Structure 1
Amino acid sequence: MALTTIRQWKHVFKLDPDKPISDDALDALCLSGTDAIVIGGSSGVTFDNTVDLMSRVRRYEVSCVLEVSGLHAIAPGFDLYLIPVVLNADSVDWVIGQHHQAVKEYGSFVPWESVAAEAYVILNPDCTAGRLTGASSGLSAKDVAAYAKLAERLYRFPVFYMEYSGMFGDMDMVRRARGELKEARLFYGGGINSEERAREALEAGADTIVVGNVIYESLEKALATVNAVKMG
């Protein structure tokens, strides 16, 4: 079920439980036509603020998805659970360590049919997630293309996620990664703060555009990205 759903996504909004959002703004996002609302963040995420945001999103028909960033924030009730595996992290903890611990503690409760792993490559080492995971910097297009090939052909990940978090990325690098993928869904996140940038990422080969920071900077610009992707 999880993979079938993910393959239909072209646009998702990503909300941070640690950032306040008004009811009116949330209403606009959930009714915008986006394919999913993904809840997750790299700092300040707790069980309480995750469940609170989920309960607010759950009033709408849009898919409500948890991107698991830590054991403390795992909560039941989501439609899907995305599990990041940071391929360019400097510690095995972000590749399999925390995942092993989660399964050891909660394995009997995991709704496996609603779980999908994401092969993450963090390309902005200065972002919070980059600092937290010690993501290697200075990756070349060849490096990223190799990660894409490994993710799909060796590890069989359903999602390859290029995360630039906070900055607009190198679209040539996106094209190189796209060229290595035949089945995995290419997610792109980072710096999508206008219709033009959403279209650029889509034209470069991203299957799914993830829009996050601009939600808290300009709701109008965030909403405009939906039509840009859907009509593109």
Structure 2
Amino acid sequence: MDVDWDAITHVTKVDPAKPLPADLDVLAGTDLVLVGGSDDVTEENTLEAVEAVRSAIPNVPVFQEPYDAAHVSRETIDRVDAVAVPAVYNGDREHFVGKHVDLFTELGRQPDAFVGSSVPLVGDLLASKGTELVSEIAGKLLGEGYVVQHLESAAAAVSGVEETYTPAQVAGAALATETFYGFPIFYVEYSGTYGGPEDVEAAARYLEETTLCYGGGIDSREQASEILEAGADAIVVGDCFHDDPDAYLETISACE
């Protein structure tokens, strides 16, 4: 499925480790779904979440955003439109450069070199599943420039974030994402707390082709509108999808 990034304004983040709403019809108004999380995520519950979302909204793009190779399987790759791999600018080396270099090292090696290797993220999958996945997964890999701005979040702990960025640094990361790295997504992540529009305003000035996403704490029409008016191309809504379907529907209405 080709994604029309210009049409993406509302993204839903589905955490496989959390219960899904009883009525998944609430997803009908979202433009894209990201399936992934930091805690208690497994290959099995990831696939279950992907399948449930696919059944509810078969015509909406579904991406997997894994934090570990154990979350990825042949089945999840078959069922998603892309595997979105975060490159966390303010994280540790492993979560910006290390995993990606290891992954593409494996992609470029001879088939027999996959046997017995151990590479973070999807490199482990290639090692265990064999060479038939190489071209398929390479075609589905999608880079995300990422800034994690909530130090107390699981996302910060997982990716080794010890300091948040100033708005000027966020702007610099946005500029690097588009002009140097060429990632299609730049993601400002406040992970469970509402950070407001300042970082979005800083980043938006430097992005023309790259999709600017903001995620974190949005649970009302007013917050969704504030972030979009600040220059975000899309809001990412997660917690209220799981916890408060009425608030979640308000965030969708702000994007219409």
TM-score under structure 2 normalisation? 0.82
2:13 alignment counterpart: 14
Q: Deviations over 1:107-144 (max 9, x none)?
A: 61543333321000001111100112121424211111
1:44 alignment counterpart: 40
Structure 2 residue identity aligned to 1:122? V
1:56/1:88 Cα in 2 relative to 1: closer, same or farther (>3 Å)?
Answer: same
2:149 alignment counterpart: 123
Report percent identity of matched pairs.
35
C-alpha distance in structure 1 between counterparts of 2:141 and 2:160, whole Å: 25
C-alpha distance in structure 1 between counterparts of 2:236 and 2:226, whole Å: 13
The answer as to 2:172 corresponding to 1:146 is yes
C-alpha distance in structure 2 between counterparts of 1:213 and 1:64, whole Å: 18
Question: Aligned with 1:125: secondary structure?
Answer: coil
1:78 alignment counterpart: 80
1:191 alignment counterpart: 217
- C-alpha contact (below 8 Å) 1:125/1:134 kept by paired residues: no
The answer as to 2:190 corresponding to 1:168 is no
Q: Which runs of 5+ in 1 are unaligned?
A: none
Q: CA deviation at 1:5?
A: 3.2
1:54 alignment counterpart: 50
Structure 2 residue identity aligned to 1:180? Y
- C-alpha contact (below 8 Å) 2:188/2:199 kept by paired residues: no
Question: Aligned with 1:120: secondary structure?
Answer: strand
C-alpha distance in structure 1 between counterparts of 2:99 and 2:137, whole Å: 18
Structure 2 residue identity aligned to 1:99? H
Q: Which runs of 5+ in 2 are unaligned?
A: 107-122, 127-132
Q: CA deviation at 1:93?
A: 0.9
- C-alpha contact (below 8 Å) 1:12/1:210 kept by paired residues: yes
Alignment length (residue pairs): 225
- C-alpha contact (below 8 Å) 2:95/2:160 kept by paired residues: no
Cα root mean square deviation, aligned: 1.8
Structure 1 residue identity aligned to 2:170? V
C-alpha distance in structure 2 between counterparts of 1:167 and 1:15, whole Å: 17
Structure 2 residue identity aligned to 1:78? V
Pick the structure with greater CA Rg.
Answer: 2
1:69 alignment counterpart: 67
C-alpha distance in structure 1 between counterparts of 2:208 and 2:51, whole Å: 36
